[in-house]
Amino acid sequence: MTPYYVLKALHLIFVITWFAGLFYIVRLFIYHVETNSLEMQEQFKIMERRLWYGITWPSAVATIILGPILMFGYYGTLTRLPLWLIIKLGLVALLFLYHLSCGNILKQLKNNQVNYTSKQLRIWNEVPTLFLFLIVFLTVFKMPVGLAWGLGLTLGLIILTLLLLRLIKAFRS
C-alpha cells in the first residue's frame, strides 16, 4: 500500500463527509426557519454550530488540502493538468463558495436574522447535489463529456422527482 492510495482514500472520505455536512446543514436551516418555538430555535443553533465547526469545516479543509497533494503526487506540476481536472477544480471552487454562503446563513440565523424562506432554503439545499453529480461524473469519465452525463442525469432525476411528487399529490387528492 503506497502513501498515494492512503491519501486518496482519506481525500474521498473527507469529500463524503464534507458533502454530508453541506446536505445536512441546510436541512437544519429549513427546520430552524420553520419552527416558531424559541426553545427549538436555540436547539437548532447548537446543532448547526456543532455540525458546521465539528464536521463540515474540518472536512472541507482536509479535502482542499489533500486534493492538491494528490494532484502534485500524480501530475508533478500544475502546467500539465488535463482539461477535466481544471474543470473539476473550477467546480470545487464554486462548491467552496456555496460552502461559504452556508456559513453566511449560519451567522444570520445565529443572530436571529431570517432572510430566507423555507422554500428558498429547500431549493438551496439541492445545489450541492448538482455539484456532486457533476464532479463525480467528470472525475469518473476524466473528460468533459462526464459533465454532460452528470448534468443530464441530474436533470433527469429532477424531472422524475417532480413527476413522482405530482403523482403522489394527485393520488392523495
- pLDDT, one tens digit per residue, over 89-144 is 999 999 999 999 999 999 999 999 989 999 999 999 999 998 998 899 889 888 87
Q: pLDDT digit string (tens) for 78-88?
A: 778 898 899 99
Confidence at residue 123, expressed as pLDDT on a 0 to 100 scale:
92
Q: pLDDT digit string (tens) for 2-61?
A: 899 999 999 999 999 999 999 999 999 999 999 999 999 999 999 999 999 999 999 999
Confidence at residue 146, expressed as pLDDT on a 0 to 100 scale:
73
CA distance linking residue 107 with residue 147, whole number of Å: 33
CB 63 within 8 A of CB 18: yes
pTM for the predicted model, two decimal places: 0.86
The domain containing residue 51 runs over which residues?
3-172
Number of domains in the chain: 1
Interior/surface letters 107-128, b for 16+ CB within 10 angstroms, e for the rest = eebeeeeeebeeeebeebbebb
CA distance linking residue 8 with residue 87, whole number of Å: 19
Q: What is the DSSP letter of 56?
A: I
Confidence at residue 45, expressed as pLDDT on a 0 to 100 scale:
97
Show the cell assigned to 46. 447548537
Confidence at residue 104, expressed as pLDDT on a 0 to 100 scale:
97
CB 141 within 8 A of CB 84: yes
Confidence at residue 52, expressed as pLDDT on a 0 to 100 scale:
98
Q: What is the DSSP letter of 173?
A: -
Q: Does the pLDDT at position 1 exceed 70?
A: no
| Choice between 98 and 147, residue whose per-residue pLDDT is larger | 98
